[in-house]
Structure 1
Amino acid sequence: MREVGQDKIRVDAYGKVTGEAKYTADLEPKNILHGKVYHSTIANGLVKSIDTTEAEKVPGVVKIITCFDVPDIQFPTAGHPWSVEKAHQDICDRKLLNQRVRIYGDDIACVIAENEVACSQALRLLKVEYEEYPVMTTVEEALKEGATPLHPDLRKDNVIVHSHMTMVEKDFTYEEGVKKAKEQYGEDNIVEFSEVYDTPKISHCHIELPVSFAYVDVNGKITIVSSTQIPHIVKLYASMALGVPAGKVRIIKPYIGGGFGNKQDMLYEPLNAYMSMQVGGRPVRLEISREETIYGTRTRHQITGHTKAVVTKDGQFLARKLEAFSNNGGYASHGHAICANCGNVYKELYQDKLGTEVDCWTVYTNAPTAGAMRAYGIPQSVWFTECQTDDIAKKLGIDPLELRMKNCMPAGFKDPHNGITFHSYGLKQTMEKGAELVHWKEKRAEYDKPQSGEKRRGIGMAIFCYKTGVYPIALETASARMVLNQDGSAQLFMGATEIGQGADTVFVQMAAESSGLRFEDIYIESTQDTDTAPFDTGAYASRQTYVSGKACKKVAEEFKRKLIDYAVYMVNHAVEDFSKTVYLNEVTAAAKAIREAYGLKEDEEITKEMLDVLESEIIEKKNGKAVLPLRILADTAFYSLDRSVHITAELTNHCKENSFSSGACFVEVEVDIPLGLVEVKNLVQVHDSGVIINHATATGQVHGGIAQSIGFALSEELLVDEKTGRVLNDNLLDFKIPTAMDVPDMQVDFVELDDPTGPYGNKSLGEPPIIPAGPAIRNAILQATGVAMNTAPMTAQRLTDAFREAGLLETI
Structure 2
Amino acid sequence: MSIGQPVKRLDAEAKVTARARYTEDMLPPGVHSAVYIRGTVAHGRVVSMDTRAALAVPGVEAVFTHADVPKILYATAGHPYSLDPEHADVADTLLLTDHVRFHGDEIGVVVARDELAARRAASLVEVVYEEYPVMTTPEAAMAPEAKAIHPNGNVVQRSEFSVGGDAEAIIAGADVVVEGHYETPITQHCHMEPLVAHAYMEDMERITVVSSTQIPHICRRIVGQALGIPWSRVRIIKPCVGGGFGAKQDVVLEPMVAFLAWKLGRPVRMALTREESMITRTRHAFRMHARMGFSREGRLQAASLDVVSNTGAYASHGHSVAAAGGGKLCSMYPHSAMHFQAATVYTNLPIAGAMRGYGSPQTIFAFECLMEEGARALDIDPLDLRLINAGRPGDVNPLSKRPIETHGLVECLQKGRELFRWDERRAAHKNSSSEVADIRRGVGVACFSFNSGVYPVGVELSGARLTLVQDGCVLLQVGATEIGQGADTVFAQMAASVLDLPMEAMRVVSTQDTDVAPFDPGAFASRQTYVAGPAVKAAAEDLRSRILEHAAEMTGYPAHALDLKAGFVVAVREPSRVFMSLEELALDAYYNKDRGSQLTAERSVKTRTNAPSFGCTFVEVEVDVPLCRVRVTDILNVHDCGVVINPATAKGQVQGGMAMAIGWALYEELLVDPRSGQVRNNNLLDYKMPTFPDLPDLDVAFVQTLEPSGGFGNKSLGEPPLLSPGPAIRNAVWDATGVKVNAIPLTPKALFPLFREAGLLRDY
The alpha carbon displacement at 1:68 in A equals 1.2
The alpha carbon displacement at 1:651 in A equals 0.6
1:229 to 202, 206, 214: 214
The alpha carbon displacement at 1:722 in A equals 1.2
Which amino acid in structure 1 is aligned with residue 415 of structure 2? K
Asked if structure 1 preserves the Cα contact closer than 8 Å seen for 2:328 and 2:451, the reply is no
Hey, what's the Cα distance between the residues in 1 that align with 2:40 and 2:330? 41
Residue aligning to 1:108: 107
Which amino acid in structure 2 is aligned with residue 251 of structure 1? I
Asked if structure 2 preserves the Cα contact closer than 8 Å seen for 1:617 and 1:628, the reply is yes
Which amino acid in structure 2 is aligned with residue 308 of structure 1? R
Residue aligning to 1:607: 558
Matches within 5 A, 1:646-665: 646-665=598-617
Residue aligning to 1:385: 367
Residue aligning to 1:277: 262
Residue aligning to 1:423: 405
Residue 700 in 1 paired to residue 664 in 2?
no
Residue aligning to 2:161: 165
Hey, what's the Cα distance between the residues in 1 that align with 2:747 and 2:272? 29
State the TM-score, normalized to the length of structure 1: 0.92
Asked if structure 1 preserves the Cα contact closer than 8 Å seen for 2:176 and 2:377, the reply is no
Which amino acid in structure 1 is aligned with residue 374 of structure 2? I
Hey, what's the Cα distance between the residues in 1 that align with 2:403 and 2:689? 35
Residue aligning to 1:349: 332
Residue aligning to 1:10: 9
Asked if structure 1 preserves the Cα contact closer than 8 Å seen for 2:34 and 2:112, the reply is yes
Greater mean alpha carbon deviation, residues 41-50 or residues 56-65: 41-50
Residue aligning to 1:497: 481
Asked if structure 2 preserves the Cα contact closer than 8 Å seen for 1:67 and 1:97, the reply is yes
Matches within 5 A, 1:239-318: 239-280=224-265, 282-295=266-279, 297-318=280-301
Hey, what's the Cα distance between the residues in 1 that align with 2:399 and 2:380? 32
Hey, what's the Cα distance between the residues in 2 that align with 1:93 and 1:502? 34
Hey, what's the Cα distance between the residues in 1 that align with 2:274 and 2:403? 41
Residue aligning to 1:598: none
Asked if structure 2 preserves the Cα contact closer than 8 Å seen for 1:77 and 1:267, the reply is yes
Greater mean alpha carbon deviation, residues 379-388 or residues 97-106: 97-106
Asked if structure 2 preserves the Cα contact closer than 8 Å seen for 1:63 and 1:111, the reply is yes
Query: For the structure 1 residues 347 and 547, does the alpha-carbon distance in structure 2 shift closer, same or farther, using more than 3 Å as the test?
Result: closer
Residue aligning to 2:618: 666
Asked if structure 2 preserves the Cα contact closer than 8 Å seen for 1:420 and 1:660, the reply is no
Greater mean alpha carbon deviation, residues 706-715 or residues 413-422: 413-422
The alpha carbon displacement at 1:519 in A equals 1.2
Asked if structure 1 preserves the Cα contact closer than 8 Å seen for 2:330 and 2:399, the reply is no
Which amino acid in structure 2 is aligned with residue 492 of structure 1? L
Bigger radius of gyration among the two: 1
Tell me the SS of whatever aligns to 1:809. Answer: coil
Tell me the SS of whatever aligns to 1:252. Answer: strand
Residue aligning to 1:525: 509
Task: Report Cα offsets for 1:380-421 as digits up to 9, x if no partner.
Answer: 011001111112212222110011111123332322432454
Hey, what's the Cα distance between the residues in 2 that align with 1:499 and 1:310? 43
The alpha carbon displacement at 1:344 in A equals 1.6
The alpha carbon displacement at 1:219 in A equals 5.2
Asked if structure 2 preserves the Cα contact closer than 8 Å seen for 1:422 and 1:661, the reply is no
Residue 785 in 1 paired to residue 711 in 2?
no
Residue aligning to 2:427: 445
Hey, what's the Cα distance between the residues in 1 that align with 2:398 and 2:171? 22
The alpha carbon displacement at 1:173 in A equals 4.5
Asked if structure 2 preserves the Cα contact closer than 8 Å seen for 1:421 and 1:660, the reply is no
Residue aligning to 2:223: 238
Hey, what's the Cα distance between the residues in 1 that align with 2:698 and 2:114? 46
Say what the alpha-carbon RMSD is for the aligned residues. 1.3
Hey, what's the Cα distance between the residues in 2 that align with 1:211 and 1:151? 28
Asked if structure 2 preserves the Cα contact closer than 8 Å seen for 1:421 and 1:659, the reply is no
Asked if structure 1 preserves the Cα contact closer than 8 Å seen for 2:375 and 2:385, the reply is yes
2:201 to 216, 223, 230: 216
Which amino acid in structure 1 is aligned with residue 410 of structure 2? K
The alpha carbon displacement at 1:272 in A equals 0.9
Structure 2 alignment gaps of length 5 or more: none
Tell me the SS of whatever aligns to 1:634. Answer: helix
The alpha carbon displacement at 1:351 in A equals 4.0
Tell me the SS of whatever aligns to 2:570. Answer: strand
Matches within 5 A, 1:431-510: 431-449=413-431, 450-510=434-494
The alpha carbon displacement at 1:452 in A equals 2.5
The alpha carbon displacement at 1:467 in A equals 0.7
Tell me the SS of whatever aligns to 1:741. Answer: helix
Task: Report Cα offsets for 1:570-612 as digits up to 9, x if no partner.
Answer: 112xxxxxxxxxxxxxxxxxxxxxxxxxxxxxxxxx2211112
Residue aligning to 2:35: 36
The alpha carbon displacement at 1:811 in A equals 5.7
Greater mean alpha carbon deviation, residues 781-790 or residues 405-414: 405-414
Tell me the SS of whatever aligns to 1:275. Answer: helix
The alpha carbon displacement at 1:613 in A equals 1.4
Matches within 5 A, 1:63-142: 63-142=62-141
Asked if structure 1 preserves the Cα contact closer than 8 Å seen for 2:334 and 2:395, the reply is no
Residue 330 in 1 paired to residue 313 in 2?
yes
1:616 to 552, 564, 567: 567
Residue aligning to 2:674: 722
Tell me the SS of whatever aligns to 2:447. Answer: strand
The alpha carbon displacement at 1:620 in A equals 1.2
Hey, what's the Cα distance between the residues in 1 that align with 2:405 and 2:694? 37
The alpha carbon displacement at 1:691 in A equals 0.5
Tell me the SS of whatever aligns to 2:442. Answer: strand
Greater mean alpha carbon deviation, residues 671-680 or residues 213-222: 213-222
Task: Report Cα offsets for 1:422-472 as digits up to 9, x if no partner.
Answer: 211210111111111111001101101243210000011111011101111
1:546 to 510, 530, 540: 530
The alpha carbon displacement at 1:218 in A equals 2.8
Hey, what's the Cα distance between the residues in 2 that align with 1:235 and 1:476? 17
Asked if structure 1 preserves the Cα contact closer than 8 Å seen for 2:171 and 2:303, the reply is no
Residue 559 in 1 paired to residue 543 in 2?
yes
Hey, what's the Cα distance between the residues in 2 that align with 1:786 and 1:396? 16
Which amino acid in structure 2 is aligned with residue 256 of structure 1? V
Asked if structure 1 preserves the Cα contact closer than 8 Å seen for 2:392 and 2:408, the reply is no
Asked if structure 2 preserves the Cα contact closer than 8 Å seen for 1:320 and 1:352, the reply is no
2:387 to 394, 405, 413: 405
Query: For the structure 1 residues 790 and 166, does the alpha-carbon distance in structure 2 shift closer, same or farther, using more than 3 Å as the test?
Result: same
The alpha carbon displacement at 1:642 in A equals 0.4
The alpha carbon displacement at 1:192 in A equals 1.9
Hey, what's the Cα distance between the residues in 1 that align with 2:398 and 2:580? 53
Which amino acid in structure 2 is aligned with residue 724 of structure 1? S
Structure 1 alignment gaps of length 5 or more: 182-189, 573-605
State the TM-score, normalized to the length of structure 2: 0.98
Identity %: 45
Hey, what's the Cα distance between the residues in 2 that align with 1:258 and 1:98? 29
Greater mean alpha carbon deviation, residues 709-718 or residues 390-399: 390-399
Residue aligning to 2:723: 771
Asked if structure 2 preserves the Cα contact closer than 8 Å seen for 1:729 and 1:735, the reply is yes
Which amino acid in structure 2 is aligned with residue 214 of structure 1? A
Which amino acid in structure 2 is aligned with residue 739 of structure 1? T
2:185 to 200, 217, 223: 200
Tell me the SS of whatever aligns to 2:762. Answer: helix
Hey, what's the Cα distance between the residues in 2 that align with 1:459 and 1:288? 42
Asked if structure 2 preserves the Cα contact closer than 8 Å seen for 1:52 and 1:125, the reply is yes
Asked if structure 1 preserves the Cα contact closer than 8 Å seen for 2:141 and 2:347, the reply is yes
Tell me the SS of whatever aligns to 1:83. Answer: coil
